[in-house]
Amino acid sequence: MKVQILFEDKNVLVLDKPTGMAVHPDGKTEMDTVADWLMLNYPKIKNVGEPMLIEKEGGKKEKILRPGIVHRLDKETSGVLLVAKNQKTFLFLKEQFQNHKMKKVYRAFVYGYVSDPKASLATGGRGVINVPIGRSQKDIRAYTAGRGAREPLKEAVTEYIILNKFTDTQNGIEKKNVEHQYSYIEAYPKTGRTHQIRVHMRFINHPIVSDPLYRGSKDLALGMKRLALHAFSITFALPSGELKTVESPLPTDFKKVIKEYLS
């Protein structure tokens, strides 16, 4: 798969990760990953960052290199991915993540009409989902917000706004049916939990369109054959102190939905 470079200087690399590409190997399947691409194209950063240990079949542990990768995106999520080109920058960027100094913006299509957030000076009119997240008791791959989650629970906060509400039909009667109703949202995770936006949108009964883990009995929709989640932009401080915002153009499948249903 082709990886686009959105921004690069001597310390930082911001990539446009395509959907379907994992950030790093999982030890279970052979696939091209962002880590593989980085080691091929930027071999000098091979040992930058922090490797991770994964458990393979049979309980054997394997060390996986994550060359300069500061954070991660789910395999089906497209968009901006931040990479450090040296260890000093990696630690500098990691500190921003840990102290919630980075601003990340995601775009997503979700099932149903999301209720308009209540106007509030405290939230700037954004909706706020402030519910801790833990592992699901039913599915080892999944996470759950609030009750039913396995301890330990971790604080998780997601803010959002509604960009548009629309239907996938022109039929006046069908438009009133929730099965034909969707919302286009922008989400702002204030914490960085695994699957956070996906779990929180499910928690408010508006799972992300075509989410393989959290959509429940809902069908794939809007022609989206993958999780309809895109990491739209990231704002962070460069080592020089300059504040930098990098955006990822909406992918083709997102543009197609917007053209077909929102134009």
Catalytic residue annotation? 74
Question: What residues pair up with 234 in beta bridges, in sequence order?
Answer: 104, 246
| Phi–psi pair at 216, nearest 5 degrees | 65, -130
Q: Are 164 and 114 in contact (CB under 8 A)?
A: no
Q: Of 70, 91, 105, 126, which Cα lies nearest the Cα of 230?
A: 105
DSSP 172: T
200: left (phi over 0), alpha (psi -120 to 50) or beta: alpha
User: How far is the C-alpha of 84 from the C-alpha of 66, rounded, in Å?
Assistant: 11
User: How far is the C-alpha of 93 from the C-alpha of 95, rounded, in Å?
Assistant: 5
Give the 3-state secondary structure percentages of the chain, helix then strand then coil, rounded to 5. Answer: 20, 35, 50
Question: What residues pair up with 80 in beta bridges, in sequence order?
Answer: 16
Q: Are 243 and 101 in contact (CB under 8 A)?
A: no
User: How far is the C-alpha of 66 from the C-alpha of 52, rounded, in Å?
Assistant: 7
